[in-house]
Amino acid sequence: MHRSVFAHTASRRAAGALFGALAAFALLLFAGTAQAAPQGLGLVATQHPVPMLCDGDGCVAQLSSFCLQRDRKAPNYGTSYRLAAGAGLWLHLTYADGGRRIVPAEGLAHLVSTRGNTAIEARVAAADRAALGAVAIAVEVGPLVTLLPEAEPGDADPITAAEAEFATGPARLLAVEFFDSPAALGEDISILDRTINAVTRSSRLSDQARRDLWSRVAGVPLEAAADGSTSPAAQVFAACLDDLERQMVYGLRNCLEGRRDELLIHANTRLWNALETGS
């Protein structure tokens, strides 16, 4: 009996030691990947400035983004990014007297990832908005804008100079064909971004209010038929109206974000394939 108890105790100790070793290894593995810098991202150039939603905490606008470094991990929620290349970001300011002004967004807009590599938020703090004195702010993304993650202390695998050069150069130049050009997704993404930023997550609109929103942003009535002649943006919006009617989604904004992300991901796959083949 004593031998049985001893053997059982030894077995439990061995199992505990093995579990502890595996847990330690998992923690080391996780720590190693967690410290590696995430992907560099491209921002889709806006065809028109995207209005920011403002409240007592400041102003925010969600912008469409895509991956320029397939071999690196997607950013976590809240990862800070900096402008690395491109024509830059601008804030369009509107004042109470109707006056307007355009200023560089650098130093005013904080850029953070919010949904993997498909969405970046530009955030202007309440204090900065007050200093600007604007009653409304919109953000404009210029051509070829590339973002790199802010350096983290102790980063075990930072983005190298060669990686940054490729992301901001050949990769971003080729991405114009898949994202920025109006002939590709440029105009459609612009419409969807402005529509998404026109409503909050808690907004509950009637079907007519949704259609009126589309008409204001797109400048034309919505064609509900999602056939080959309909633009991707109109297809997305019509599909969301259908999903909302059937109570398959929670809110117009959530639906538009998800379906817009699908467009971005499919275009990103085509970009990666083109980069791999050199075409």
pLDDT score of 226: 47
Q: If DSSP codes are grouped into helix, strand and coil, which group holds residue 81?
A: strand
pLDDT score of 173: 96
pLDDT score of 210: 93
Confidence class for position 156, pLDDT limits 50, 70, 90:
confident
Distance between CA atoms of 196 and 200, rounded to whole angstroms?
8
Contacts 24+ apart (CB under 8 A), 260-264: 260/64, 260/118, 260/189, 260/192, 260/193, 260/196, 260/236, 261/115, 261/118, 261/119, 263/185, 263/188, 263/189, 263/192, 263/232, 263/236, 264/44, 264/64, 264/65, 264/66, 264/118, 264/179, 264/185, 264/189
Return the residue matching tokens 């397939």: 70
| Mean per-residue pLDDT over the chain, rounded | 86
pLDDT score of 129: 96
Amino acid at 139: V
Please report, rounded to a whole number, the percentage of residues in the chain having pLDDT higher than 70. Answer: 85
Mean pLDDT, residues 44-69 = 96
* Residue 230, pLDDT above cutoff 70: yes
* Residue 49, pLDDT above cutoff 90: yes
Domains in the chain: boundaries: 41-151, 187-277
- Whether the CB-CB separation of 238 and 225 falls below 8 Å is answered with yes
pLDDT score of 151: 86
Confidence class for position 256, pLDDT limits 50, 70, 90:
very high
Distance between CA atoms of 122 and 61, rounded to whole angstroms?
5
Sheet with 50-51, side-by-side order of all strands: 50-51, 136-141, 89-94, 100-104
Quick: pLDDT tens for 18-44. Answer: 434 443 333 334 444 457 899 999 999
Quick: pLDDT tens for 176-194. Answer: 999 998 888 999 999 999 9
> Which of 44, 46, 83, 69 lies closest to 170, judged by CA?
69
Quick: pLDDT tens for 71-114. Answer: 999 999 999 999 998 889 999 999 999 999 999 999 999 999 99
Give the helix ranges, DSSP H, for 83-153.
Answer: 126-132
Distance between CA atoms of 164 and 174, rounded to whole angstroms?
15
* Residue 143, pLDDT above cutoff 60: yes
Mean pLDDT, residues 149-159 = 87
pLDDT score of 228: 55
pLDDT score of 244: 92
